Amino acid sequence: MAEFLQKIRNRMRLIVQVGFTALTNGYVLGFIKGKIYKGPTKALCVPGLNCYSCPGALGACPIGSLQAVLGSRNYRFSFYIIGFLIFIGSLIGRFVCGWLCPFGLIQDLLYKIPFFRNRKRKNLPGHKWLVWLKYVILVVFVILMPMFYVDIIGQGSPWFCQFICPSGTLTAGIPLVLLNEDLRGAIGFLFAWKAAILAAVVLLSIMVYRPFCKYLCPLGAIYGLFNPIALYRYQVDETKCNRCGSCQRACKMDIRVWETPNSRECIRCGDCIKSCKRGAICTTMKKNKEKEQE
């Protein structure tokens, strides 16, 4: 029994990822009928990048909703969505990326596929500069374009959703087109473009760990800003750490954990904690538990 519990503890993150994805995309009826859920929970955002046009989706995507409100002619700023993002960020930061985002789960699984066994790598060349690309995408495609590139009555389009987001293509575009014969006739160049981006991200994800999260995701860009001050964050015990570098080797986001345990790039997967032979890294949750026990 103890062994079984230990096995579960080792796989905890995967279990939470799958469970949360199933929970927030549990509208199986949508997949059967080729429609999307229209109930009231669709007014609430889920924390991860989860397209609201997915047949299974029960909630709304924060990035999509942000573009919708900024693009609407009635608003110049979204208090509701920004408030939600600040709330989640301040509590858990990029824990969402590592534990609650469906597209993160997909990239994790893709990386495990044993293709390119000899050529699997953590980062793309140019990593240092590429990590800033997600902030450019956030500012340009999620904020500026929907706000200012408007049509005849002042309404903007969701530029990130429309031209970039591979999560939407995979979980919404492809299922809906496959399940609805009349939608199939309406696809054109845009669909091919999005499919190409999806294919590129999928292929890259087999070779590089989480390329979308590292270089493209605007949501991760936002949450990452909160990592240093989030309630759930990592702490390094300086007295125990001998700067051996095991944590950086274990870290698939390639972070120098002993220096910056709350880097903007950290998705809180916990691999560094498991790898530290001296137990020098811990989460603020564990630290508080220990304090209570003393």
Q: Which 87-116 positions form the footprint of other proteins (CB under 8 A)?
A: 87, 89-91, 109, 112-114
Contacts of residue 135, Cβ cutoff 8 Å, sequence gap at least 6? 218, 221
Q: Interface with other proteins includes 38 (CB under 8 A)?
A: yes
State which of positions 16-35 bind other proteins (CB under 8 A). 22-23, 26-35
Q: With the C-alpha atoms ordered 185, 187, 189, 195, is the resulting torsion angle positive or negative?
A: negative
Question: To the nearest whole angstrom, how small is the minimum distance from the Cβ of residue 45 to other proteins?
Answer: 7
Selection from 204, 257, 222, 264 nearest residue 61 by Cα: 222
Residue 214 structure tokens: 């590292």
Which positions from 196 through 235 interact with other proteins, judged by CB under 8 A?
226, 228-231
Query: Which residue lies nearer to other proteins by CB, 173 or 220?
Result: 173
Q: Report CA torsion sign: 121, 124, 126, 128.
A: negative
CA 1, CA 156: separation in Å to the nearest integer? 56
Judged by CB under 8 A, the stretch of 75-83, 118-126, 216-224, 240-248 that binds other proteins is 75-83
Closest distance of CB 125 from other proteins, Å:
26
What's the min distance (Å) between Cβ of 127 and other proteins? 25
| Rg of the chain in Å (alpha carbons) | 20
Residue 168 interacts with other proteins (CB under 8 A): yes or no? yes
Could you give phi then psi for residue 234, rounded to 5 degrees? -100, 150
- Using the rule CB under 8 A, give the single segment among 39-47, 213-221, 241-249, 268-276 that binds other proteins: 39-47
CB of 126 to other proteins, least distance (A): 28
Q: What are phi and psi of 195, to 5 degrees?
A: -65, -35
Can residue 68 be called a binding residue for other proteins (CB under 8 A)?
Answer: yes
